[in-house]
Structure 1
Amino acid sequence: MDLVASRRYKNASLVVLVLLVFCVASRFLPQEQQTVSTITNREAALVNARLATVGGVIDFGPSGEIPVDYAKPIPTFSNIHVTSYKNTLPNPYVTSSENVTAYQQSILTFLHNPKSGGTTLKFCLQKLSRFLGKDNPLLVTPVSREATQTGFMNGVIKPEDHDIMMGGASLGVCESFSSRRCSYFTIVREPYDRMISHYFFCKEGGESSISCDNKTIEEFAIDAGSIFFAQLALTVDCRCENNCNDLSKQPWHCSNDYKTYYANAEHKEEMLQYLVQHLDKYFAVIGLTEEYEVTLNLLQHTFGLPFHDRCHETRQNAGSYGTQDKRELDEKKTEALKAMQASQRVKEILHPDVVLYERAKEIYNIQKTKLFST
């Protein structure tokens, strides 16, 4: 190779090397945000109505300027829009500087995680509603969530009429309005233990949205999935159907959106990490099934209502067995746990709930420590 050709080869190699380094490095550099200078009042209303369903609204400037931090996607896929939860009170034991009155005046909203003591707590909430002189709490299930949120968006359901809401799809419903703030709370259970309880409860004829007919515990767990993760990943899409320029025409319609839960593995992991980091922003109180009495005390202390005083002796959906029957059932549960732990697919399926449970325990222990130090 002559000298000129050698230099050209070295220069070309250098260019390729520089381009390669730039491409690799650019993956780890902050991406330049796309900015839009202004937005119309109608567009602002539409955007905030949509964002209200996923946890926050945007403070647009007086001339419609879009805030600088709005364009940041956290994480980087489309299902997470904002990190602001302006109508949701965060956990006062971990992050909040809110005063006690804010929690006691908020709408209490219970996210029911199946077979985690939630049915017992729903009976407790009915008692507390009567204690407050109110009707039964507003029930928000996956079936009723769309109609409930549409009702709030259109003003048909009024926040001032409800002091307590509860159900398996209640998380996020309070972001449909701004006239009252809300405090979410939940009770969680060790995921494998929860799944085994769910399975045998179903086998004994208990109500279950997941069929257990002719299924092993592994098949049941795979069908059920990480239920707590699914509850947190649910978003509700609210759209303006007509007369969008006149918000008084009640044009909103909301529908459930599960695409985050069924996303690919990479996006689900991003979503999981996001939820772990924000769990104390979602829930004012997180309780544990394994420490139900302390959980009731936490709720009573936080919200100023007699959770423990009126409900500590009430238990629902708890099996009643003779000594022999209980021994046999315990043996079956032990074998079921071994079968689940031996299944790689079950481990993958329950991974999100295991991670969330570990973070929930950390938050619970902080709450418990501060409760007993007061």
Structure 2
Amino acid sequence: MSRITCWLKSLALVALILMAIGVHVTRKHLRKLPDTMAKIPSKRYSVPVTENLTPAEPSTNRLEASLDSDLAALIEAGNALPNFFLKRRGQDKAAYRNISISFVHYPKSGGTTIKDCLIKMASKAGKPDPVLVFAKNVANTKEQMLNGELEKAKIFMGTNGFTLCEYLHPKRCAYFTMLRDPYDRMVSHYYFCKDGGQSNAPCQQSIEKFALLVRSIFLHQMASGVNKCEQDSRLKWSCASKRRSLDKIVNYNSTKEEMVLNYLERKLVDTFAVVGLLEEYETSLALLQEALGLPFYDECITEFSNSKINNTDQRALERIASKKKLLENEDVRKALDADIRLYRKAKELFEKQKERSRRYWKN
């Protein structure tokens, strides 16, 4: 019996020893396990983690990578002076005096009055007449600028006034504009056309269909200014008259168009020396006069040009009803979304400009 007992005890001891060795080996293997797993390719985890991250904010580099490089450079507006009230920083006020200026005319937003005012100011100051820039002559204007034929010109204005500052490099230049609620602007545009005013879109149709043809004008004014310009063997510049629309530049890709819009929203403060609003016309003139040192308020306050509006009570009621139709139409809202967003941003900038303006608080 004693031999059997001793034998059983020996077996138990051996078992305990083997168990101890097994635990040690297992622990040692577990410590190495992560390194081993790291070397094993797994289809489940092969998707890069970055695909789940929120996309970075658009930048010039992103624009250049995703869009036409010429468009990216132009909407960067690197030669334009930033907002006088909000981004001037260490620059002296003198940097905004006696420089070239370009008025970006957003139609039916008080722009004709501003253009008439600019002509009057230039005449009184003995300066060359302002250069009117529109779709049919913008390529020729850029050729003249590049070839040094407009050296004396100081004032540019028109619906195609944006991007011109880039053709004046290295001379600095300032953009300014007057904006308006896009729905009100569309109603004004529609009835201006019906009263015989010029319009690219036909107005012998409902205002909703008219709005769907016109769409967001300001977005396309800022992002469709690419005219291909090249030098010939004599170093003379020539610019192609045909420009590509934003739709074609982004190849009808809504994601890329959204990228451009987001970028332009942020760039308004860097691109425009002053942003005015028709709804606060007098204050806008005062801000322009303070920033650019030209008598906008003194010369323009008593004028209001291009008033072909039939201001009868019946027409006023028609306008109210027309705006209501636009506001209730989801397709129209989408068509005007870009200008609505840019206008909302412009209103924020306008309030900040007023806060910084000395003239505004004095009055």
The verdict on a shared fold, with TM-score over 0.5 as the criterion, is yes
Equivalent position of 2:102 in the other structure: 109
Which residue of structure 2 lines up, in the alignment, with residue 132 of structure 1? 125
How many angstroms does 1:340 deviate by? 1.1
Note closer, same or farther for the CA distance 1:350–1:18 as it changes in structure 2 (3 Å cut): same
Match status 1:173 vs 2:200: no
Q: Relative to structure 2, which stretch is displaced further, 170-179 or 285-294?
A: 170-179
1:208 aligns with: 199
Cα distance change of structure 1 residues 190 and 212 upon mapping to structure 2, 3 Å threshold:
same
Please give the secondary structure, in 2, of the residue aligned with 1:105. Answer: coil
Tell me which residue corresponds to 1:20. Answer: 47
Unpaired segments of 5 or more residues in structure 1? 1-9, 31-68
CA 201–320 in structure 1, closer or farther in 2 if over 3 Å, else same: closer
Are 1:234 and 2:224 matched, yes or no?
yes
Separation in structure 2 between the aligned mates of residue 204 and residue 307 of structure 1, nearest angstrom: 29
Secondary structure at the aligned position of 1:249 is classed as coil
Write the letter of the residue equivalent to 1:142.
Answer: A
Question: In structure 1, what residue type is equivalent to 2:81?
Answer: L
Q: 1:93 aligns with which of 81, 85, 89?
A: 85
Higher mean displacement: 83-92 or 333-342: 83-92
In structure 2, what residue type is equivalent to 1:168? T
Inter-CA distance 273–256: structure 2 relative to 1 (3 Å threshold) = farther
Equivalent position of 1:266 in the other structure = 255
C-alpha contact 1:129 1:137 (8 A) present in aligned 2: yes
Alignment of 1:250-289 (within 5 A): 250-262=236-248, 263-289=252-278
* Structure with a larger share of its residues in helix: 2
Q: Distance in 1 between matches of 2:232 and 2:235?
A: 8
Structure 1 residues 284, 261: CA separation in 2 closer, same or farther (over 3 Å shift)? farther
The code of the aligned residue for 1:205 comes to G
Shift of 1:320: 5.7
For residues 278-318 of structure 1, give each alpha carbon's deviation from its aligned partner in whole angstroms, at most 9, with x where no partner exists. Answer: 01111100100011111111111111111111110011122
Name the counterpart of 1:225: 215
Report if the CA contact (8 A) 2:77-2:165 is conserved. no
**Equivalent-residue separation in structure 1 for 2:118 and 2:235 (angstroms):** 35
Q: Which runs of 5+ in 2 are unaligned?
A: 1-36
Q: CA deviation at 1:241?
A: 5.3
Cα deviations by residue, 1:217-243 (Å, 9 ceiling, x for unpaired): 001101111011110111323342532
Give the structure 2 partner of residue 5 of structure 1.
none
**Alpha-carbon distance change, 316 to 287 in structure 1, aligned in 2, over 3 angstroms:** same
When the two structures are superposed, what TM-score results if normalisation uses the length of structure 2? 0.80
Question: For 1:307 and 1:298, how far apart are their aligned partners in 2?
Answer: 9
Cα 1:349/1:370, change in 2 over 3 Å: same
DSSP-derived class of the 1:366 partner = helix
Aligned residue for 2:150? 158
Alignment counterpart, residue 197 of structure 1, candidates 183, 188, 210: 188
Deviations 1:65-102 (A, max 9, x none): xxxx98x3237521353475442111021212221111
**1:239-260 CA distance string (max 9 Å, x none):** 42532xxxx5214424453342
- With over 3 angstroms needed to count, the CA separation of the structure-2 counterparts of 1:334 and 1:251, relative to structure 1, is closer
Q: How many pairs are equivalent?
A: 316
Q: What displacement does 1:20 show?
A: 2.3
Three-state SS of the structure 2 residue aligned to 1:184 is strand
Counterpart AA for 2:283: V
State the alpha-carbon separation in 2 of the partners of residues 313 and 108 from structure 1.
Answer: 23
Alignment partners' CA distance in 2, 1:281 and 1:26: 28
8 Å contact kept, 1:88–1:181: yes
SS at match of 1:285: strand
> Once structures 1 and 2 are overlaid, which stretch shifts more, 122-131 or 248-257?
248-257
- The residue type equivalent to 2:297 in the other structure is H
Post-superposition CA distance 1:326-369 (Å, at most 9, x none):
22112111211121122211111000000000001111111111
- Alpha-carbon shift at residue 24 of structure 1 (Å): 2.9
* Distance of 2:221 and 2:228 partners within structure 1: 18
CA RMSD after TM alignment: 2.6
What's the TM-score, normalizing by structure 1? 0.78
User: 1:227 corresponds to which letter in structure 2?
Assistant: I
* Greater gyration radius: 2
In structure 2, the residue matched to 1:357 is 343
Aligned match of 1:146: 139
CA contact (8 A) 2:195 2:308 kept: no
* Partner residue, 1:292: 281
SS in structure 2 at match of 1:316 = coil
Shift of 1:163: 1.5
Q: Give percent identity, aligned residues only.
A: 32
1:170-212 Cα distance to aligned partner (Å, 9 max, x none): 1111211324211110000000000001101111112222221
Paired with 1:28 and 1:212, the residues of 2 have a C-alpha distance of 41
